[in-house]
């Protein structure tokens, strides 16, 4: 179970770091031209790709068991770390309150982002059933 905790934390950090770069590009260059919802919709498949392979890498690197309970723990830890990192970024960088951050998920772009994050959390579990090597 320790491997699931470590893998979940590293998985979240990897995806958050890459998402931070993609997010900066989205906010600075894509959203002003195409709108926020379209920009997020274009970013989502890229983040899902990164998440899928980031999850696989962490599972292999930390030798995470295929047991469903272990994979669920990895996904939940990763989701909690990712959401905490996102909330911290929103608060410390953008000055957004927790209430405002939660409210942002009601918008179209927020819902797309949240759906992508939920998919991110399920990838370790799905990969217990589907190996692509």
- Output the pLDDT for position 99: 87
- Output the pLDDT for position 100: 85
Sites in the chain below the pLDDT cut of 50: 132-133
- Output the pLDDT for position 125: 96
How far is 103 from 38, CA to CA, in rounded Å?
19
- Output the pLDDT for position 98: 83
Encode burial over 48-61: b for 16+ CB neighbours within 10 A, e otherwise: eebbbebbbebbee
């Amino acid at each position: 179970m320790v491997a699931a905790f470590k893998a979940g934390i590293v998985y979240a950090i990897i995806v958050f770091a890459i998402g931070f770069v993609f997010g900066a590009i989205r906010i600075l260059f894509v959203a002003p031209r195409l709108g926020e919802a379209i920009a997020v919709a274009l970013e989502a498949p890229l983040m899902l790709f990164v998440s899928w392979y980031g999850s696989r890498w962490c599972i292999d690197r930390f030798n995470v068991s295929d047991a469903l309970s272990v994979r669920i723990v990895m996904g939940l830890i990763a989701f909690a770390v990712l959401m905490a990192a996102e909330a911290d970024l929103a608060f410390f960088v953008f000055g957004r309150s927790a209430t405002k951050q939660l409210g942002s998920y009601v918008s179209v772009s927020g819902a797309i982002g949240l759906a992508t994050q939920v998919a991110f959390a399920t990838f370790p579990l799905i990969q217990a059933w589907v190996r692509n090597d």
